[in-house]
């Protein structure tokens, strides 16, 4: 192939790439629209309403039940159908109806597979405001973007605002329902021989309640800040205990930390892990960490699909916390080693997180 032909080929490829880029850029310009419309659908309880109806609903039925504008709802549903969140079905009488999809089921406000609370938390006004301060955070501002936007750090803000604290608990509970179900299914051996488990930063106790139900030989201690456990649910086999994980962790055979350590920098993680190490027996104790590991280490299709979620979660940690981050395997090895754990194992599961067992 001559030089001119090569140049022409490269020019065509560049033109194609540029045309594709012009299409792709609109996704970033209007990326907020999907967030806002999905939040609207959750707040209106569209999926819940169709589910309660027991069969597909016409636009007028849906509008009447929700008490909202027919024309506005039509435009919302058109958008959501285009995103495959709901499905349009034509009836024998040519009446257009809307039905549920697997995705819309995840946006119901109730149910063990619901992810609605997590969406509402991450897209609540205090959380969304932080993204406008992200660039100042990058150029050297020591405070978190959350603090810059809301006047205090995430945890202080939650302690002072019960409604926001409840939103955090509900969001963590919905995440727990998804991940713990996988852990109960795939990680039974991790909990064999463990009689007591303290869930450090256990929120409203959803995760520990599921673990105790799945592994009934366990006695659980749900441990979190006093204002958190004050509103925690009562669950058979689970004791709610208030305290500060930076001061002391209740004694147990195993300390369980799910979506906790990614909120903190390395020094804080090492401190927390040392407190957990003090709480477990030297001979048979373990710390069970359920958190993301950024390095996939394989070509598994499901892992590859979730790797993008893990990277987005890392951006959330940068925006919402002072020093939090998602960690690579080497970064996990560092904090565990510095905390005095002699060995650890990492297990991939069908979830965003992995299960890390650390032994003193």
CB 227: neighbour CB atoms within 10 A?
A: 13
Q: Is there a contact between 216 and 185 (Cβ–Cβ < 8 Å)?
A: no
Is residue 262 annotated as part of the catalytic site, yes or no? Answer: yes
CB 58: neighbour CB atoms within 10 A?
A: 13
- The residue annotated as part of the active site, out of 72, 262, 271, 344, is 262
Return left, alpha or beta for 140; rule: phi > 0 is left, psi -120 to 50 is alpha, else beta.
left
Q: Is there a contact between 353 and 326 (Cβ–Cβ < 8 Å)?
A: no
C-alpha distance from residue 355 to each of 128, 290, 332, 344, 345 (Å): 30, 5, 12, 10, 8
Burial code (b: 16+ CB inside 10 Å, e: under 16) for 108-146 equals beebeebbbbbbbbbebebbbebeebbeebeeeeeebbb
DSSP output for 133-145: GHHHHHTT--S-H
Spatial strand order of the sheet with 87-90 comes to 57-58, 96-99, 87-90
Nearest to 66 by CA among 86, 43, 99, 84: 43
Q: Cα–Cα distance between 61 and 73 in angstroms, integer?
A: 11
> Alpha-carbon dihedral of residues 293, 295, 296, 297, nearest 10 degrees?
-120
Q: Cα–Cα distance between 298 and 125 in angstroms, integer?
A: 38
DSSP at 18: H
CA angle 238, 181, 249 (to 5 degrees): 40
Nearest to 255 by CA among 230, 273, 234, 236: 273
Give catalytic residues, as residue numbers. 262
């Amino acid at each position: 192939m001559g030089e001119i032909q090569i140049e022409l080929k490269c020019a065509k490829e560049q033109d194609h790439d540029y045309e594709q880029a012009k299409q792709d850029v609109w996704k970033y310009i209007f990326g907020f629209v999907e967030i806002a419309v999905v939040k609207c659908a959750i707040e209106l309880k569209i999926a819940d309403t169709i589910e309660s109806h027991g069969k597909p609903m016409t636009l007028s039925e849906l509008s009447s039940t929700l008490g909202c504008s027919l024309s506005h709802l039509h435009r919302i549903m058109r958008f959501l159908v285009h995103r495959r969140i709901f499905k349009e079905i034509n009836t024998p009488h040519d009446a257009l109806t809307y039905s549920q999809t697997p995705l819309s089921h995840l946006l119901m406000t109730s149910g063990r597979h619901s992810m609605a609370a997590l969406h509402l938390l991450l897209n609540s006004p205090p959380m969304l405001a932080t993204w406008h301060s992200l660039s100042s955070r990058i150029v050297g501002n020591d405070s978190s973007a959350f603090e810059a936007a809301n006047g205090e750090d995430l945890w202080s803000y939650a302690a002072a605002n019960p409604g926001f604290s409840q939103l955090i608990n509900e969001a963590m509970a919905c995440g727990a329902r998804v991940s713990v179900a996988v852990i109960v299914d795939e990680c039974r051996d991790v909990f064999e021989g463990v009689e007591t488990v303290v869930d450090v930063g256990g929120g409203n106790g959803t995760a520990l309640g599921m673990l105790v139900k799945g592994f009934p030989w366990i006695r659980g201690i749900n441990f979190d800040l006093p204002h958190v456990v004050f509103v925690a649910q009562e669950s058979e086999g689970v004791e709610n205990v208030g305290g500060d994980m930076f001061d002391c962790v209740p004694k147990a055979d195993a300390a369980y930390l799910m979506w906790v350590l990614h909120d903190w920098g390395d020094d804080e993680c090492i401190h927390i892990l040392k407190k957990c190490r003090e709480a477990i027996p030297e001979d048979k104790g373990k710390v069970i960490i359920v958190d993301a590991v950024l390095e996939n280490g394989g070509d598994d299709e499901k892992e590859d699909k979730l790797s993008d979620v893990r990277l987005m979660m890392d951006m959330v940690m940068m925006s919402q916390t002072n020093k939090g981050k998602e960690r690579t395997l080497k970064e996990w090895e560092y904090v565990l080693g510095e905390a005095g754990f002699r060995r650890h194992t990492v297990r991939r599961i069908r979830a965003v997180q992995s299960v890390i067992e650390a032994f003193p």
